[in-house]
Amino acid sequence: MTRTVFRGGTLYDAASRSADRADIAVEDGWIVDVGSGLDGDVEVDCTGSGILPGLFDCHVHLTMSSTDLFGIAQEPFSLQFYEGALNMAKTLAAGVTTVRDAAGADLGMRVAQERGMIPGPRMQVSLNMLSQTGGHGDPWWPSTCVMDLLPPHPGRPPIVVDGPEEIRRKVRELVRAGADVIKVATSGGLVSSGGGPEFAHFRDDEIAMMVGEATAAGLHVMAHAHGAGAKAAVRNGARSIEHGHQLDDETLAMMAERRVWLVPTLSSGIGLRRSIESGDQYPSHVLAKIEESAGDDSMRRAVEAGVPIAMGTDAPLHPHGENLVELELLVENGLRPADALHAATLSAAELMGLDRTLGSIEPGKRADLVVVDGDPLDVDHLGKRIRAVYQDGRAVAGARRTSDT
């Protein structure tokens, strides 16, 4: 068995949220030792570099490269899976070795990655997002046209449901189709045709049914949620709040007490505004919702309230492959750089239930490693400083000088 030593790098220790120089020994894809002067059969020279655990993005849409409904409606149905493969490769090259796909990717994509058929991050998939009639995920538009960013297929069930019993059956269908997490919209959204973030979707008995059925299958619920919809999701047992605008103090206090995660997807707002500036067309009511969201301070107040934060981008609203811009935005909104990195490593791993094997550089964990130029605690332009990405100890992006010892 080959023993590879990553020598001379400065490691980010997610447990202590600090960095120090150390070597890493890897065998058969697992970290077996961390310390000084380690020996091995093969050496990777990391002198002058930082080493991070493989990073997480807890909110992506890999089968989508834009939100242009008219353009997507004219594309061949199967093209989305090739888009997904391309976006998986871009995400991996950005140092993100694990993702939670928040609607779009199906079980086949996850299995293809697990079998090494296509390069990409490890994946948890939600398949699609539960929506009430007229809710954020309902593809019906006022013109009476149906324009669906994520049209149903055998591996991605339709998701418009009303009432606890419809929800019970739909969650079971999603589980049957291979969902690793159940996603729901418990409020309106910015770019949908329906109501804005201030409108709550689904009632307590409906959300409780989702959580109960997900729990019975060993899964969690992630909630696209703002305002009163976020409060309802927290009250009824959701694991995480995605986006999370208009969160009042009571909601934040409940999230901190119950350890409900916030995945703020700050870069999605940047991406939407850039899209508008570049001339992309949105209806006036959508533009108004985007404008109203710009000054929201929920993320900063969540940090002050002690709410756990995990990194997510909502790519492609901000492009796939530029995921690490989110780290800079997390710092701008109240986190220290070391805490922003924690949100993208051990915190994210805990959210996804993977912290026993991923999220930090320590013996007994998978050798997902990201080698970067310079100080690993410096998150500014970190995405442009990626030198190499390793998954299970195998180089999957970039290259470093190696030598036999």
pLDDT > 90: percent of the chain:
82
pLDDT digits (tens, 9 = 90+) for 175-196: 999 999 999 999 998 666 666 7
Would you tell me how many other CB atoms lie within 10 Å of the CB of residue 141?
A: 14
Cα gap 280→149, rounded to integer Å:
16
The model's pTM is 0.94
Cβ atoms of 185 and 130 within 8 Å: the answer is yes
Average pLDDT of 218-245?
A: 98
* pLDDT score at 194: 62
Q: Where are the domains of the chain?
A: 3-54+359-404, 55-351
Q: Contact 286/191 with Cβ under 8 angstroms?
A: yes
| Pairwise CA distance, residues 157 & 179, whole Å | 10
| CATH number of this structure's domain 55-351, picked from the four choices 3.30.379.10, 3.30.300.30, 3.20.20.140, 3.40.630.30 | 3.20.20.140
Q: Give the 3-state secondary structure percentages of the chain, helix then strand then coil, rounded to 5.
A: 30, 25, 45
Which residues are within 8 A (CB) of 154 and not within 5 positions of it... i.e. 6 or more apart? Answer: 177
Q: What local confidence, expressed as pLDDT, does residue 143 receive?
A: 77
Q: Tell me, what's the pLDDT at 405?
A: 46
Identify whether the C-beta of residue 301 lies closer than 8 Å to the C-beta of residue 347. no
Yes or no: domain 3-54+359-404 corresponds to CATH 3.30.479.10: no
pLDDT attached to residue 73: 81
Give the three-class secondary structure for 97. strand
- Mean pLDDT, all residues of the chain: 92
Q: How confident is the model at residue 117 (pLDDT cuts 50, 70, 90)?
A: very high
Residue-wise pLDDT tens digits, 316-326: 999 999 999 99
pLDDT digits (tens, 9 = 90+) for 333-392: 999 999 999 999 999 999 999 999 999 999 999 999 999 999 999 999 999 999 999 999
| pLDDT value for 191 | 67
- pLDDT reported for residue 193: 61
Q: Is the pLDDT score of 402 beyond 60?
A: no
Count CB neighbours of 101 within 10 A.
28
More confident residue, 196 or 223: 223
311-329 per-residue burial string, b: 16 or more CB within 10 A, e: under 16: bbbbbbbbbbbbbbbbbbb
